[in-house]
Amino acid sequence: QITLKESGPTLVKPTQTLTLTCTFSGFSLSTSGVGVGWIRQPPGKALEWLALIYWNDDKRYSPSLKSRLTITKDTSKNQVVLSMTNMDPVDTATYYCAHSLTIFGVVMDAFDIWGQGTMVTVSS
């Protein structure tokens, strides 16, 4: 059974760096065809994809946020970490991590299992 859980601060100040950790079980990021992504959702608004990291350390970022994002993995700890610099109140959102859908060993650009999400508020 695959599970993911996000953790990190619930409140950050403007200009600070946000660091979120996704701790997962039921799969390994060292297995071919596996990926983990981050998606966020401001209150009352739509989902927004942020970043993806694959088993081979290939990394993808949202073009609009690329300069502020860093995604890394720690295979031994079954964790994926997302850092976002220069936080602003508009970054207030629920942040989700999710497992990439894999079909017959081929990773798809979609997410089949999601964490519960963690709410992050940016305020001074």
By the criterion CB under 8 A, which residues form the site for other proteins? Answer: 37, 39, 46-49, 52, 60-64, 96, 101, 103, 108-112, 114-117
Could you tell me the smallest distance in angstroms from the CB atom of residue 115 to other proteins?
7
Phi, psi of 27 (to 5 degrees): -160, 170
Q: Strands 11-12 and 106-114, how do they pair? A: unpaired
CA 4 to chain centre: 10
Query: 15 or 32: whose CB is closer to other proteins?
Result: 32
Query: 16 or 121: whose CB is closer to other proteins?
Result: 121
Could you tell me the smallest distance in angstroms from the CB atom of residue 83 to other proteins?
18
